[in-house]
Amino acid sequence: MRDLIVTENITLDGVIDAAGDWFAPAGGDDVDRTDIIDALSAQREAADAFLVGRITFEQMRGYWPRQTDDDTGISAYLDAVAKYVVSSTLEDPGWQRTTVLRGPLDDEIRALKAAPGADIVVTGSMTLVRALIAAGLVDEYRLFVFPVVLGDGTRLFEGAASDLELVETRPFRSGVVLLRYRPR
């Protein structure tokens, strides 16, 4: 059984929406971010599937395939990985190695998790992530906590209750901290 991993950039007060571009770059331009890039690279190497909702997919499709000088490896990874987009309206994904999931969410994700392979990573996709949480389909949360307090914005766990076990804490030079949790 494959693990479904939710990875989010998140503020200290739990906000995950990207309004205001608070998550890039943490610590300013002078901070060495090779440690966080290495952590993200390890996560990509452990996953062979990328799951997103339609809005996040369309934003990423409009950006990443056009990056020719990406030294993070994200662009190359997204071109190579199997991508799954949950949508009832998307007709032609227009990005190689993309499958549109149209059936009932629980059925589609349970089948994906039961298929052979490595981790399935979902990022962004707030509506999708909340539905996955509500359905009890998330195996792990990887929260990259940025040293920012916004006071307002969309929060990851709005309206959801979860009992989580901390499995890793890793600080980065930028002040960002990775917190890994698994549902109990």
Which residue's structure tokens are 């971010």? 33
> What percent of the chain shows pLDDT beyond 90?
69
At 23 the pLDDT is: 65
For the stretch 7-64, pLDDT in tens is: 999 999 988 887 767 766 555 667 888 899 899 999 999 999 999 999 999 999 999 9
State yes or no: pLDDT of 159 exceeds 80: no
For the stretch 63-95, pLDDT in tens is: 999 998 888 788 999 999 999 999 999 999 999
At 27 the pLDDT is: 59
At 133 the pLDDT is: 93
**Dist CA 132 CA 30 (whole Å):** 37
At 3 the pLDDT is: 98
Of the candidates 76, 74, 85, the residue with the CA atom closest to the CA atom of residue 112: 85
Of the candidates 183, 100, 109, 105, the residue with the CA atom closest to the CA atom of residue 141: 183
For the stretch 117-158, pLDDT in tens is: 999 999 989 999 999 999 999 999 999 999 989 888 888 887
Q: Which helix (H) or strand (E) holds 63?
A: helix 54-63
**Dist CA 43 CA 79 (whole Å):** 16
Q: Which two tokens stand for residue 65?
A: 């395939």
Q: What is the mean pLDDT of the chain?
A: 91
- Domains, the chain, with CATH or none: 4-16+31-183 (3.40.430.10)
At 26 the pLDDT is: 58
- Burial class (CB within 10 angstroms; exposed 0-12, middle 13-18, buried 19+) of 43: middle
**Dist CA 75 CA 86 (whole Å):** 21
CA–CA distances in Å: residue 46 to residues 11, 118, 159? 25, 6, 30
* CB-based contact 112:3 (threshold 8 Å): no
Region label for 140, one of left (φ > 0), alpha (ψ between -120 and 50) or beta (otherwise): beta
